[in-house]
Structure 1
Amino acid sequence: MGCMASRAQREARFSSEEKQDLIEAWKDSAPGSAVETATRLDALRKNLRAKQLNAYIVPTADAHNSEYTAACDRRREYISGFTGSAGTAVVLLESAHLFTDGRYHIQASQQLDHDWTLHKVGQPQVDDWPQWLAKNLSSGMAVGIDPTLMSNQSASMLAPMLSKNGIALHYNHSNLIDQIWNSRPEPVFFPIYEHEMKYAGVSATEKISNVREWLSKQNSPSAYLLSSLDEIAWLFNVRGASIPCNPVFPAYAVVKVTGTHLFIDPRLVNKDIATYFASISVELHAYDDIWGWIKSNKWHDMQFYFQNDASVALVQAAGQDNARLLPATSPVAMAKARKNEVEQRGMHNAYLRDGAAWVRWAAWLEEAMANNEEIDERKAADVLQSYRKQDPLYAMESYDAISATNENAALPHYETPKSHGRVIDRATPYLNDSGAQYHDGTIDTTRTVHFGTPTYEQRRAYTRVLQGHMALAQARFPQGTTGAQLDMLARQPLFQDGFNYLHGTGHGIGAFLNVHEGPYGFSSSSGGSITPVALEEGMAVSDEPGFYEEGQFGIRIESVFLVKSIGTYRDFGGKWLHFELVTRVPISTKMIDFRLLNENEKTWLYKHNALCRHELLPMVEHDSRATRWLQRQ
């Protein structure tokens, strides 16, 4: 639909050198080693004194609460040196503090210099930053934050907590980190493009119409304001490349019964996409015009419906009386979560092709290790990505690859160095958690293998993780069941040995969108963390239990499923659901202690690997090494 040029024509506008420059810009902005922060802290504290502030909060997210942020928005990383994807920095006049959860305790302790105090949130007697501020600041003190970087929901909890102790919360509309960041990277203005109907399945016109239908049922003139970048990209069937790993772009969107508006930097809009927006009656505005638009419309008894993570700045612009915060299960979020038939078919196709790329890579790596070559973590990750890039529908990585051996694999969110890294050894498991963004699907796959002789402990841990993975994969459950209710299926086999893992069991996945999609998922720590969300037909979700022996080794197995309906004996009790396997990568059997498996588990594993062989062999028949490897699985 629309007048967008073909993908080949679109790509022709960017030379191979320009594309490589984009990739290198992302790499250069990727997490690095620890940095000295004293000079940066001194500059920030000078600003604090000028503003009469006693503390400044520096969150991870950008103005859209994105998980992956552009290099120019990584303010917390700049001021602290900590590169993890979750955490909050709090800078006082005499001290600096970093708060992060169990996924990053080890990494943060390694990256923070002596000017910082690490608060290991989740450990006994360790407060998160809001509680810590309330307890450690004195009455009469003031705390500052950029209101575009804090959700209204968080501000509504923080302000009363501080006020109770006589501490004021000040909103600084000029970001104090930006004022001292002399080398701040420039944004990436990669032109956005139409996500074609053969991949999207439903037109943007129909999606917008559904939002308008919802608005028409409200009691007063109203506007639906979107700030989450994946929801905006999904609604308009448009994708971009301004942010690493997620094919989205900075923008705000407003849908009214009488009109639709997109607020975006004009440098992201070329003639073709402008024509496309005109064809679906979307009015374009400059990105920063969102504030004036909201303020000019709020005087007309307009009710603004915001996503639950909308910034306090957006809500303030509308006015508290005019703002209505939607739950996590907002109309757009849930419509996006339920993949249509075209999107589901695209996911299957993407995972099948990606499975072939994985097999070719796995065969290369096994041969190299058998020949006693020294392959480091970065080279292993890069070679896998090189196979993926051969796919004509490849767009970008879907997240920073976790390629980890030895003790590095015990870090669930290990950051593989930009160059080199530890050489993969033959005494411990090797873990690869990586993915790609294809125009027809988003990939998230993890497999753990061993290139030597596994120890008894490694075998037992691997087997327990595999049993948890299989137990969840085989679940059948009634409609209305939440991921949190199924979480124990994956953990129970590990619990038998007193094992556990401190991350979520799985998360939602977008369709050529964010690799981590809410509001659904497994466990209270992944998707719908405040109010667990029932799984519905069409949702794509990952299954990724793990085990981590700190300082020794780590194991994780991750596959992706689609939620589908299924008939049951007598069809008793209404509609029932199950998981349809999407991932097509064999599961290694080398580390399995088969004495721990029951017959059902052995049968599931055999059928899984047989299915992978059957579907992938025709796709790798030109690669004799890959064919031999696959036949052995």
Structure 2
Amino acid sequence: MGCLASRPHADGTVDEKRALLDAWAAETRTPPTDTTARLAALRAEMRDAHIDAYLVPTEDAHASEYTAACDARRAYISGFTGSAGTAVVLADSAHLFADGRYHIQAAQQLDRHWTLHKVGEPGVHDWPAWLARALPRGSRVGLDARLVAYQTAHALAASLAASDVALCYVPRNLVDAVWTARPPPVLAPVYEHALAYAGVPATDKLAAVRAWLAEQGGGAYVLSSLDEIAWLLNVRGASVPCNPVFPAYAVVTAEAAHLFVDERLVRDVRAYLARIGVTLHAYDAVWAWLAAAHGPCFLHERASAALVDAVGRKRATLLRADSPVAMAKARKNDAEQEGLRQAYLRDGAAWVRWAAWLEEAMARGERIDERQAADRLAALRRADPLYVTEAYDAISAAGPNAALPHYETPAAHARVIDTAAPYLNDSGAQYHDGTIDTTRTVHFGAPTFAQRRAYTRVLQGHIQLARARFPAGTTGAQLDMLARQPLFQDGFNYLHGTGHGVGAFLNVHEGPYGFSASSGGAKEPVALEAGMAVSDEPGFYEAGSYGVRIESVFLVQRLGTYRDFGGAWLGFELLTRVPISTKMVDWSLLTDDEKVWLHEHNALVCRDVLPLVQDDQRAVRWLKRQ
């Protein structure tokens, strides 16, 4: 990945780099999962259902990024464990479609039965376009309508029909039918999210939704996104890894609020839900309820084909950026903003204690591997009284592993951190008052010319976005180029978005806003508004050698300017309280303004975090050196 993989540079010739890449791939490759029996069983089910191709997406029935183990169908059938990608199984072949974040990982994890389609590379089609070209006329493509967005399924059906191929909703999930030893659902109790952290009572949030419905002329608002349900009702759960949510559907009307959920999950909050006017139903009762309802129904644009069909296509209105719950959740209220500030401050103190320990251990020549480093930081975070869980699986990556933007740090036999290449840590915690997402890249030896230059370009991109001021109405898609421009000066780039929204003790990746071409995954880019929390994380990845990423989280805030031409102007307030390493900086590349920003950033972090680590002199000394 990155331009340097295709030409000589200061660290070696193309042949040397290819040899290094091959050696690293051999070193890190583990035997892929044997999918022979799984595919044979699935194909038997396909034959019985008269299906020629079967789609296996990553998402669960709620379009969740992170799924419970019992919903990890694509990982089970393919062996690929990345957090995004789609599998397509035919009678005589199997195909995995993954974007640039997962090309290397997927190639390592797929066995001989699978063909990897590296989406994003020239001439490689994503799965909808590939299906329309690959299948003979008269073929039938099957899918579970609960697991695919209606808009995706509708567009796919039209595309396939043009090739005389039919899209079929199979009544039962065929992977479930063949999944031996499928994990049971996690029945962690749902609990009330304290008003001190939520900031606004659930009754007020429900009233706001009803006011919005009245403006639309009435109807029902149907929620299927798990973080929206948790936010609306001021409750949290633990049924899904890392995200404090639980499987449910919710419907709000002018007269009532309905929650469709496994009753075993809500035993501890039944009284609370009753007080705020929520009626409980069985999880699967949502289909009959929607089919029997009258009047218009409003759903998120990512609502499943099954939900839209249950409502009826004529009664369903799909909402984009005008979703009242998604946008209200995105604009953090005063209590949520203050909670995020406090969470990032305490987490910064944990990071400083950890970084000081790791630097000292490396200086002594101790053998520390990626997993040991990640576990030590997690242990420090767990000591916080408000700690709940990790916000995502930590990316603790040394040397060439850092070139994988979504590297999965192994539980055993992890790579030892060395002094020849950068070490990258991308990790965060869920606290009752905030969700953390932080990345820093450091070096414990003597950085090479190429490493310093790449790090500095990434740093410049980070700074350029952090310093942005912009008029209200500006989208993250419009600002994305600020972070890339310094890298473009050297022909560098990265194949992921520059940043994403962050929840307030909710999902670490929150839409519909962010810094990317699609601005947080929305169909149309969404304007940034005061109160939104968003990450700034440009990177550079030299496959088989090293990677660099610097990530901080900011709050969008209203700013005063000299003129305020045209109305309100916005900028960013730093939340993250972790120093940015200067060891790999090529100071000759930085402008005077960038140098000032970096020094002021680390001075601010030192000022705020120092009082929290006074009992740890090692941490104090480390912090003052940054």
Report the equivalent of 1:333: 326
For residue 130 of structure 1, give the secondary structure of its aligned residue in structure 2: helix
Deviations 1:279-309 (A, max 9, x none): 1010011111101111121xx3x21111100
Segments of 5+ residues of structure 1 without an aligned counterpart are 1-31
Report the equivalent of 2:89: 91
For this pair of structures, how many residues does the alignment match? Answer: 597
- Within a 5 Å distance, the mapping from 1:18-167 to structure 2 comes to 34-167=32-165
The Cα of 1:526 is off from its aligned counterpart by 4.9
- Within a 5 Å distance, the mapping from 1:368-387 to structure 2 comes to 368-387=361-380
Cα distance between partner residues in 2 of 1:201 and 1:33: 49
Which residue, 585, 607, 615 being the options, matches 1:622?
615
For residue 82 of structure 2, give the secondary structure of its aligned residue in structure 1: coil
Counterpart residue type for residue 318 of structure 1: V
Greater RCO (Cα-Cα under 8 Å, separation 6 or more): 2
- TM-score for both structures, normalised by structure 1: 0.93
Deviations 1:328-370 (A, max 9, x none): 4311100000000100000000000000000000011011101
Q: Structure 1 residues 256 and 632 mapped into 2: Cα distance closer, same or farther (>3 Å)?
A: same
Cα distance between partner residues in 2 of 1:285 and 1:164: 41
The Cα of 1:570 is off from its aligned counterpart by 2.8
Report the equivalent of 1:535: 528
Cα distance between partner residues in 2 of 1:334 and 1:628: 43
Cα distance between partner residues in 2 of 1:572 and 1:187: 54
Cα distance between partner residues in 1 of 2:55 and 2:213: 36
Cα distance between partner residues in 2 of 1:605 and 1:540: 21
Cα distance between partner residues in 1 of 2:299 and 2:226: 13
Report the equivalent of 2:504: 511
The Cα of 1:528 is off from its aligned counterpart by 4.0
Cα distance between partner residues in 2 of 1:129 and 1:464: 34
Cα distance between partner residues in 2 of 1:572 and 1:64: 42
Report the equivalent of 1:559: 552
Which residue, 248, 252, 260 being the options, matches 1:263?
260
Cα distance between partner residues in 1 of 2:497 and 2:210: 35
Segments of 5+ residues of structure 2 without an aligned counterpart are 1-29
Contact 2:553 2:574 in 1 (8 A): yes
For residue 388 of structure 1, give the secondary structure of its aligned residue in structure 2: helix
The Cα of 1:158 is off from its aligned counterpart by 0.2
Contact 2:321 2:522 in 1 (8 A): no
Cα distance between partner residues in 2 of 1:321 and 1:502: 39
Report the equivalent of 1:28: none
- Within a 5 Å distance, the mapping from 1:156-235 to structure 2 comes to 156-219=154-217, 221-235=218-232
The Cα of 1:573 is off from its aligned counterpart by 2.4
For residue 403 of structure 1, give the secondary structure of its aligned residue in structure 2: strand
Report the equivalent of 1:296: 292
In the alignment, is residue 457 of structure 1 matched against residue 450 of structure 2?
A: yes
- Within a 5 Å distance, the mapping from 1:262-281 to structure 2 comes to 262-270=259-267, 272-281=268-277
For residue 609 of structure 2, give the secondary structure of its aligned residue in structure 1: helix
Cα distance between partner residues in 2 of 1:526 and 1:95: 35
Cα distance between partner residues in 2 of 1:512 and 1:617: 25
Bigger shift: residues 487-496 or 526-535: 526-535
Cα distance between partner residues in 1 of 2:506 and 2:202: 15
The Cα of 1:81 is off from its aligned counterpart by 0.2
The Cα of 1:550 is off from its aligned counterpart by 0.9
Cα distance between partner residues in 1 of 2:434 and 2:541: 30
Contact 1:523 1:529 in 2 (8 A): no
Cα distance between partner residues in 2 of 1:356 and 1:51: 57
In the alignment, is residue 242 of structure 1 matched against residue 239 of structure 2?
A: yes
Cα distance between partner residues in 2 of 1:529 and 1:100: 19
The Cα of 1:419 is off from its aligned counterpart by 2.2
Contact 2:397 2:424 in 1 (8 A): yes
In the alignment, is residue 322 of structure 1 matched against residue 315 of structure 2?
A: yes
The Cα of 1:571 is off from its aligned counterpart by 2.7
Bigger shift: residues 272-281 or 231-240: 272-281
RMSD: 1.0
Report the equivalent of 2:21: none
Bigger shift: residues 522-531 or 461-470: 522-531
Q: Structure 1 residues 632 and 520 mapped into 2: Cα distance closer, same or farther (>3 Å)?
A: same
The Cα of 1:60 is off from its aligned counterpart by 0.3
Report the equivalent of 1:398: 391
Cα distance between partner residues in 1 of 2:335 and 2:355: 30
The Cα of 1:529 is off from its aligned counterpart by 4.5
- Within a 5 Å distance, the mapping from 1:390-469 to structure 2 comes to 390-469=383-462
Report the equivalent of 2:486: 493
Deviations 1:245-283 (A, max 9, x none): 10000000000001000001011012x410100110100
Deviations 1:180-205 (A, max 9, x none): 00210001100000001100000100
Deviations 1:141-197 (A, max 9, x none): 111000000110101100011111111111012100000002100011000000011
